[in-house]
A and B are shown apart, each in its own frame.
Chain A
Amino acid sequence: MNSILKYPLLLFLGSLILQSCEKTDALNSSDDSNSNASVYFYKPLNFLDPVYDFSKNPVTKEGFELGKALFNDPLLSRDNTIACSECHNQSYAFTHHGHPLSHGIEGKVGLRNAPPIQNTAWQKEFFWDGGVGDLDLFPIAPIENPVEMDEKLGNVLEKLKKTSRYPNLFKSAFGTDEINTQRFLKALSQFMNSLISDNSKYDKVMRHQGEVFTLDEKAGYDLFNAKCASCHQGALFTDQSYRNNGLPINEQLNDKGRFRITENSTDLYKFKVPSLRNVELTAPYMHDGRFFTLDDVLNHYSRGVVQSETLDPILSKGISLSEEEKRKIILFLKTLTDKEFIRNTKFSN
């Protein structure tokens, strides 16, 4: 009797220890585990702690696979023609290559440029205006936006239930074949949270993994730190604030940015500072994709900033940049390109 009691207790303790080991590994992975295909979420050494609450939705292989299937499935759109991956293409760091504004079903054109989907677990708020504060609630917006997928969330769930494929995928991921809002959204979060870009040359330089900057890249890095990093700061290259960076107003779109959410006049024309990871791949740039090259972007800051009431004070005189300085900054920005991320077959459909 005694031994029977002891045995499960030992097993239980053993599994606790194993579990905690696994968790530590996943959260404090070195470069070795970055390439380990069985680990779906980890914290890169040069990143801060994620803001996403993984206790409510840990990433599992099955949840990731379900999320990936959903991400790539045009069934999420009203006419079954457009998947999330249409505007968030892995080859371009999950952006809509070459499109200033995102395209929806039936050739409809959206209001804004599709941002990359990467390092979502570290993002506090989503969209250019921060209208959604929880990754789990994010996908409802593109699904229901009349100029994007123009579908109803409830109808997506009904369509999924009628397939032969999805009930099984939901069962693998969540234990039963029930398809509901929570599971659908959590699976998508699991996939998105796995899209970690942390293997650029910059990362390897920072982690002392054998890579070194060229002299020009180093000069660009120093210039970047002096002239750009107050907004594009930290390992994510954004302070996640909302700022008016002095773009001339596009009257046709009349996009008032953060003001759409807060309706506070001090937020007029402010947009979220975007991450610069993979910026070489994510053209065109700005919330409305008006700039097709990084030269255009730097030229804007050096000579195109327009004064207005909500212009960020830091940009009141623009940013003084010589042509040589711009060239070096762009060389540095290209060290943020993460080829392993865009070629990782784990993320591919």
Chain B
Amino acid sequence: MKNILWIFISITFLLGACKNESIEPIDPSIKNNVTLEFSNMVGTQSLILDNSTYQNSSAESFSVSKLNYFISNVSFKNIAGTTVNLSDQYFLVKQNDANSLLPILKDVPSGDYTEISFTIGVDSVKSVSPVEQRTGVLDPASYGDDNMYWSWNSGYIFFKLEGTSPSAINVATPNKFQYHVGGFGGRTSATANNLRRITLALPQIIHVRKSISPSVHLIADISKVFSGTNPVKLANSAVIMSPALALPISSNYANMFSVDHIHE
């Protein structure tokens, strides 16, 4: 009985100690990583490339062979309402590259954050930046056959979704669909702008501390690409590569992200 009491007291004490330790005071000079974890899904199913068939809101069945998108300009809002911008960190999320699904944000200042924002695409400043700034995932030499840069109409492909569908009527490549969305608004003439800014409330406050580098687990529901205010039908548009024609797609996918949960 005495032993049990001791164990009980010890556990209570230890738990209390743990809890106190986990909430270090905020020291904004101390920075840490935040991992974004992207799970690409179609409705309630995980996205499986090539071999799974899904249905969109227009009852068209389709398979996905490729899904890539750029994430940039992530920012967090803290409990005081101040925004912390993590500029100059660009990520290319590719469904066929497991590492790319877990981009790590560096140098996030310590803080308690309630909201995350990010851009799908490469912002206009970076899109017209000199070649010195085009390194890492922005290096036009880095894409191989899976190109994410338009050389003839200089700019990045923000979002790429490709696959097959019996509804996709395309003389050049029957049953294939290709959505390449780019267009940052134009360099010297105004052009279509498909940059989309996403802001999501976090389901719980995330703490960034010296000892805490949390993960934000996001879900991207690809079925939303086809649904929304401007339904996109594979039967009507199997191949979209023009920024102007892609406006309904970017408007739709602007609503495909949600924060599922947080790991601390």
Within 8 A of A (CB), among B211-264: 242-244
CB of A168, distance to nearest CB on chain B (Å): 21
Q: Which residues of A contact B140 (CB under 8 A)?
A: 137, 140, 153, 181
Contact B143 A56, beta carbon cutoff 8 Å? no
Residue B132 is within 8 A (CB to CB) of chain A in the complex? yes
Residue A339 is within 8 A (CB to CB) of chain B in the complex? no
Q: Which residues of B contact A263 (CB under 8 A)?
A: 191-192, 242-244
Chain A contact-residue range equals 35 or more
CB of B183, distance to nearest CB on chain A (Å): 9
Given contacts A136-B131, A152-B144, A154-B142, contact A267 B189 (CB under 8 A): yes
19 A/B residue pairs, CB under 8 Å, sorted by A: A53-B130, A56-B130, A125-B188, A132-B153, A134-B154, A136-B130, A152-B141, A152-B147, A153-B140, A154-B142, A155-B144, A157-B141, A180-B141, A181-B131, A181-B134, A182-B131, A182-B135, A263-B244, A264-B191
Chain B contact-residue range equals 20 to 34
Task: Give the A-B pair count, Cβ closer than 8 A.
Answer: 83
Residue A262 is within 8 A (CB to CB) of chain B in the complex? yes
Which residues of A are in contact with B by a Cβ distance under 8 Å?
53, 56, 124-125, 127, 130-134, 136-137, 140-141, 143-145, 152-157, 180-182, 185-186, 258, 260-264, 267
Residue B97 is within 8 A (CB to CB) of chain A in the complex? no
Which of A56, A131, A261, A264 has a CB less than 8 Å from the CB of B132?
A: A56
User: B149, B152, B191, B242 — which one has the most chain A CB atoms within 10 A of its CB?
Assistant: B152
Q: Which residues of B contact A134 (CB under 8 A)?
A: 128, 130-131, 154
Q: Which residues of A contact B50 (CB under 8 A)?
A: none
Contact B187 A133, beta carbon cutoff 8 Å? yes
Contact B151 A144, beta carbon cutoff 8 Å? yes
Looking at chain B's contact residues, the main secondary structure is loop
Q: Which residues of A contact B190 (CB under 8 A)?
A: 262, 264
Contact A262 B186, beta carbon cutoff 8 Å? yes
Given contacts A263-B243, A263-B244, contact A140 B130 (CB under 8 A): no
Given contacts A136-B130, A136-B131, A182-B132, contact A154 B143 (CB under 8 A): yes
CB of B198, distance to nearest CB on chain A (Å): 25
Q: Which residues of A contact B151 (CB under 8 A)?
A: 132, 137, 140-141, 143-145
CB of B9, distance to nearest CB on chain A (Å): 63
Q: Which residues of A contact B142 (CB under 8 A)?
A: 154
Task: Give Cα A261 to B143, complex, Å.
Answer: 22
Task: Give Cα A134 to B141, complex, Å.
Answer: 17
Which residue in chain B gives the minimum CB-CB distance to A260? B153
Contact B131 A131, beta carbon cutoff 8 Å? no
Q: Which residues of A contact B145 (CB under 8 A)?
A: 152
Residue B139 is within 8 A (CB to CB) of chain A in the complex? yes
Which of B135, B154, B186, B189 has a CB less than 8 Å from the CB of A132?
A: B154
Which of A56, A131, A181, A182 has a CB less than 8 Å from the CB of B154?
A: A131
Which of A145, A157, A185, A264 has a CB less than 8 Å from the CB of B189?
A: A264
Within 8 A of A (CB), among B114-158: 128, 130-132, 134-135, 139-145, 147, 149, 151-154
Q: Which residues of A contact B154 (CB under 8 A)?
A: 131-134, 137
Given contacts A137-B154, A140-B140, A181-B139, contact A130 B188 (CB under 8 A): yes
Contact B144 A185, beta carbon cutoff 8 Å? no
Given known contacts A134-B130, A258-B189, what 18 new A-B pairs fall within 8 Å (CB)?
A: A56-B130, A56-B132, A132-B153, A133-B188, A134-B131, A136-B130, A136-B131, A137-B151, A140-B149, A141-B152, A152-B147, A154-B144, A181-B141, A182-B132, A182-B134, A261-B189, A262-B191, A263-B191
